[in-house]
Amino acid sequence: AADINERGVLSSRTDVADITFIDKRLSDLEHKVSTENDTVPESFHQLKNKVDTFTEKLENVAHLSWLGLSKDLSMGMSQPFWHKKTSAVKMEAHHKRVYDRFMKFTKVHVSEEVRRELRKQSFDNWQWDDPEMLILLRQMYIDLNLISKLDIDMVVFHEWLYEVYRNYNQVPFHNFKHCFMVAQMMYGLTWLIDLPSKLDTLEVFTLLTSAICHDLDHPGYNNAYQINAKTELALRYNDISPLENHHCAIAFDILKKENCNMTRKFSRDQFKRFRDSMIRCILATDMAKHNEI
């Protein structure tokens, strides 16, 4: 709970939600005081400045000891994780905020506790917001030694992760949260059955990357709808797994961007193996084809 002591100093018990509430109360009070009086007391300005300073500290990298510091693993989801459709300008602003927080989090240490939980199939996916999920995806590649073994440029990798995030739509199910859940389950199974001892590094990399990319730019309507409505995707892919083909095409479109091409140091043979395997993995997510597997 929020705690302002006798000297008006915010205590360490205060969290971000409390600060937001206090800040709103102070803003309302300031408006009321300024309406009823010509001047606002200096003590009020001092308290407002302390709230602003404390808010900045909470959001500053230097005061974050590890990701998940304030997470309650028992809370679950408190509200829907998708958003109503917003304008392109608002969406771009939202993406910018996510990018800035993600870049800030790249300098933060992820705790051993969170890393251990992340390896479990019972990991609570619901409590994490978009920048945190991005940093947890990053941690998966680090803990599987994929970054070091495949000589992936970390700066490029960050840009790739963000671009993948940006290409997930705000739809009720096939959104970035779903992407993270599938990738986390793939990651958990990787540790459960010790896949790195059974597959080579490139194969593990392909499985995790395919899980992350498997629903890119999903419009929210299934293949049956695409085919019956004769949509552009259905026509482009001749009614053959239109969505899965599209997800795969977007994934490789992202890798074509120079600042997002985390495979740039792959040999020609490595990239061919990666591309062939990833196409098979993503196309296999068409549920209509599962009886053929």
Residue range of the domain that includes 55: 1-59
Number of domains in the chain: 2
- Same domain flag for 53 and 137: no
- Same domain flag for 108 and 198: yes
- Same domain flag for 26 and 118: no
- Out of 45, 109, 158, 174, pick the active-site residue: 174
What is the reported pTM?
0.74
- Same domain flag for 55 and 92: no
- Same domain flag for 182 and 283: yes
Transcribe the chain into DSSP letters: ---B-TTSPBPTT--HHHHHHHHHHHHHHHHHHHHHSSS--HHHHHHHHHHHHHHHHHHSGGG--SBTTT--TT---SS-SS-----HHHHHHHHHHHHHHHHHHTTSPBPHHHHHHHTSTT---TT--HHHHHHHHHHHHHHTTHHHHTT--HHHHHHHHHHHHHTS---SSSSHHHHHHHHHHHHHHHHHTTGGGTS-HHHHHHHHHHHHHTTTT--S--HHHHHHTT-HHHHHTTTSSHHHHHHHHHHHHHHHSGGG-TTTTS-HHHHHHHHHHHHHHHHTT-GGGGGG-
Chunked into runs of 10 residues, the chain (293 residues) has average pLDDT values of 36 48 66 63 73 58 46 47 66 96 95 97 96 98 98 99 98 98 98 98 99 98 98 98 99 98 98 99 94 77
Q: Classify residue 152: in a domain, yes or no.
A: yes
What is the number of alpha carbons within 13 Å of residue 213 lying toward its C-beta?
30
- Same domain flag for 230 and 101: yes
- Same domain flag for 147 and 286: yes
Q: What is the pLDDT of residue 236?
A: 98
Query: CA 150 → CA 127, 144, 269, distances in Å?
Result: 31, 11, 13
Q: What CATH number has the domain bearing residue 283? A: 1.10.1300.10
- Same domain flag for 51 and 120: no
- Decide if 63 is catalytic: no
Annotated binding site: 178, 214-215
- Same domain flag for 42 and 100: no
- Same domain flag for 30 and 153: no
